[in-house]
Structure 1
Amino acid sequence: MHIMGCDGSVLLDGSHGGPSEQTAPPNQSPRKQAFNIIEDLRNLVHRERGRVVLCADIVALAARDAVHLSGGPDYDVPLGRNDGLTFATQNAALANLPAPSSNASTILSALATKNLTPTDVVAFSGGHTIGISHCS
């Protein structure tokens, strides 16, 4: 089965095959240090529990904890995601995410095609701008 979406593939940095999902302009908000922290968490979890917890769940849990630690709500994260089996490309990210320069109407329309509600979009957008943002 081909996994796409919440599969932890944003952790792939492109060092083994060209531009990656991580280097796509819509995914430039997370700082490199955030990816290093997630990698450290993955190593700790795998040392303690083995590889029963996949990167995709670690990313979802890290996002939940970052939201909570920054004053946002605490919420349950259903576990059991699968890590992607194929390299997620920058082109796939660009085809599936609205551009960072998109206005609210464009963002809402684009993400509605992914079955996200306006409330989901606000939460998703907030998660990309907690802490430090950038302007290219």
Structure 2
Amino acid sequence: MVATSRISSWVAPALLLFVALAHTTDADHLYVGYYAKSCPNVERVVSSVMANRVGSGRMAPAVLRLFFHDCFVNGCDASVLLDATPFSESEKDAKPNASLTGFTVIDEIKAALEKECPATVSCADVLALASRDAVTLLGGPTWNMPLGRKDSRFAADKEFTTKHLPSPNDNLGELIKMFGELGLDARDMTALSGAHTVGMANCEHYRERVYGTSDTEYNIDPSFAEARRKMCPPQGYSGDAGKAPFDIQTPRKFDNAYYRDLIVHQGLLNSDQALYSSGGVDSLVERYGADGDAFGRDFAKAMVKMGNILPRKGLPTEVRLHCSKANY
């Protein structure tokens, strides 16, 4: 019995690892109901943890932001969740990702799913579902999320990561180009930018806008700029903790107030206000600001479209057993 127990204790995790590694080929397509047989309760598990851990608090925008920062760098492959190793850098260490949080929520969901259906649900799909639930928990729309993503075994390096994430001072042309390279058009870009109706930005990201020191300047409401300056010291002064909400009206509600802020020149970042400055997508901003349902519909469609960005063919993928590290 002792010998049998020892063998069993070794074989069980080995089999799980084999199953996970057996799913290393890139998915040709994603579809709703991907786990209908292999893990039918996957969405219930994700929603339960999200409701218990996140609710309508600040962690919901953090989880949503993780999904964006993952998909923009080599596709939606959960590479943003990987820790650094002696052989690979971590996307977490790139400057635009320095303030990312929400990793523990994803880890908790993954642990629950490993008990429910071991070595089955990818971390990339966990992140996709969790981001949708984050929006819903904040009062936003919901949608059917196609599933079947696989997890990258390697993260991008810090330079590549930084290059492929939007900057707080990007102009409209740069934003349209960056989104376009991912197969997302100007409507998708404008709708997805509405994710900034929740969450906050650090002082370093909006300082240049409120002090008028950026090379990319857009009209800003003077009283809005003055209020933000009280929270954010000028460059060179000690202290940089002045977080400010993107949407000053309803910062913890997923609605269309972000667009109404832009119309009155109260966008927090230059890259926000860029959407309402040159006429390029002004009409979309005005439409979303006037019609929250239209924004919700377009946002949901754009989230599905962004979520369909897969890693390049040939990149090694798997279903990770732990989201922060490859299986071996």
Q: Normalising by the residue count of structure 1, what TM-score does the alignment of the two structures yield?
A: 0.81
Aligned equivalents of 1:130, 1:17: Cα separation in 2: 36
Aligned equivalents of 1:101, 1:133: Cα separation in 2: 13
Amino acid in the other structure paired with 1:102:
D
The equivalences for 1:1-136 within 5 A come to 4-14=74-84, 16-17=86-87, 19-28=89-98, 30-31=100-101, 34-127=102-195, 130-136=198-204
Contact 1:60 1:77 in 2 (8 A): yes
Q: Give deviations 1:45-93, integer Å, cap 9, x for gaps.
A: 1111112100000011111111111122101110001101223222221
SS of the aligned residue for 1:46 comes to helix
Amino acid in the other structure paired with 2:121:
V
Cα 1:74–1:88 shift into 2, 3 Å = same
SS of the aligned residue for 2:201 comes to coil
Identity of aligned residues (%): 38
SS of the aligned residue for 1:73 comes to coil
Report 1 or 2 for greater relative contact order, CA contacts < 8 Å, sequence distance ≥ 6: 1
Cα 1:20–1:59 shift into 2, 3 Å = same
Q: Normalising by the residue count of structure 2, what TM-score does the alignment of the two structures yield?
A: 0.37
Cα 1:2–1:45 shift into 2, 3 Å = closer
Contact 1:54 1:81 in 2 (8 A): yes
Aligned equivalents of 1:88, 1:127: Cα separation in 2: 24
Cα 1:11–1:49 shift into 2, 3 Å = same
The root-mean-square deviation of aligned C-alpha atoms, in Å, is: 2.5
Q: Please tell me whether Structure 1 or Structure 2 has the larger radius of gyration of its CA atoms.
A: 2
Aligned equivalents of 2:151, 2:97: Cα separation in 1: 18
Name whichever of 88-97 and 69-78 sits farther off. 88-97
Aligned equivalents of 2:198, 2:99: Cα separation in 1: 9
Deviation at 1:95, TM superposition (A): 2.8
Amino acid in the other structure paired with 1:23:
D
Unaligned runs of 5+ in 1: none
Deviation at 1:129, TM superposition (A): 6.6
- Provide the aligned length of Structure 1 versus Structure 2: 134
Contact 1:14 1:20 in 2 (8 A): yes
SS of the aligned residue for 1:80 comes to coil
Deviation at 1:19, TM superposition (A): 4.4
Amino acid in the other structure paired with 2:109:
L
Cα 1:49–1:80 shift into 2, 3 Å = same
- Which ranges of 4 or more aligned residues in structure 1 deviate by more than 4 Å? 15-19
Deviation at 1:18, TM superposition (A): 6.2
